[in-house]
Amino acid sequence: MVQSPPIPITHNLDAIKLLTDDATIAGWNNEGLPSDRMSTENAIILTNSDRWPLIIDPQLQGIKWIKARYGDALVVVRLDQKTCVDVLESAITKGNTVLIENLPESLDPVLDPLIGKNLIKRGRALKMGDREIEYNASFQLILHTKLANPHYKPELQAQCTLINFTVTRDGLEDQLLAEVVKAERPDLEELKYNLTKQQNDFKIQLKHLEDDLLSRLSSAGGNFLGDTALVENLEHTKATAQEIQEKVAEARVTSVQIDEARELYRPAAARASLLYFILNDLHKINPIYQFSLKAFRVVFHKAIDRSEASDEVGIRVRALIDTITHSVFLYTTRGLFEKDKLIFAAQMTFQVLASQGDVGTMELDLLLRFPVQPNVVSPIPFLTNNNWGAIRSLSQVDEFR
Least confident residue range of 141-145, 164-168, 224-228: 224-228
* Confidence band of 272 (pLDDT split at 50, 70, 90): very high
What are the C-alpha distances in Å from 50 to residues 16, 46, 167, 247? 18, 9, 25, 39
- 156-160, 290-294, 306-310, 325-329 — most confident range: 325-329
Q: Which of 1-15, 154-168, 200-214, 243-257 has the highest mean pLDDT?
A: 154-168
Tell me what pLDDT residue 361 has: 80
Reply yes or no on whether the pLDDT at 319 is more than 90.
yes
Q: Are strands 140-145 and 52-56 parallel, antiparallel or unpaired?
A: parallel
Q: What is the mean pLDDT of residues 239-257?
A: 84
Q: How confident is residue 387, by pLDDT bands cut at 50, 70 and 90?
A: confident
Residue 369 clears pLDDT 90, i.e. is over it: no
Percent of the chain exceeding pLDDT 90 equals 43
pLDDT score, position 264: 94
Single out the residue of 185, 198, 309 nearest to residue 247, CA to CA: 198
Per-residue pLDDT at 298: 96
Per-residue pLDDT band at 22 (split at 50, 70, 90): confident
Per-residue pLDDT tens digits for 40-50: 999 999 999 99
End-to-end alpha-carbon separation of the chain, Å? 52
- Calpha distance 90→310 (Å, rounded): 59
pLDDT the model gives residue 200: 86
Confidence of residue 28 (pLDDT cuts 50, 70, 90): very high
Distance, CA of 164 to CA of 239 (rounded, Å): 43
β partners of residue 70: none
In the predicted model, is pLDDT for residue 262 greater than 60? yes
Read off the pLDDT band of 265 (50, 70, 90): very high
Say which residue, 34 or 228, is predicted with more confidence.
34
Whether 363 and 397 have beta carbons less than 8 Å apart is answered as yes
Determine the pLDDT at residue 117: 84
113: cis peptide before it, omega within 30°? no
pLDDT surpasses 80 at 113: yes
Instruction: Say how far apart CA 8 and CA 24 lie, in whole Å.
Output: 28
What is the structure's pLDDT at 202? Answer: 85
Strands (E), 165-286: none
Per-residue pLDDT at 223: 64
Say whether pLDDT at 219 is over 60.
yes
pLDDT computed for residue 221 by the predictor: 63
Average pLDDT, the chain: 87
Q: How many residues does the chain have?
A: 401
Q: pTM of this prediction?
A: 0.78
Judge whether 178 and 234 are in contact, CB under 8 Å: no
Give me the pLDDT at residue 243, please: 85
What's the confidence (pLDDT) of residue 21? 87
Task: Tell whether the model's pLDDT for residue 3 goes beyond 70.
Answer: no
Residue 300, pLDDT above cutoff 70: yes
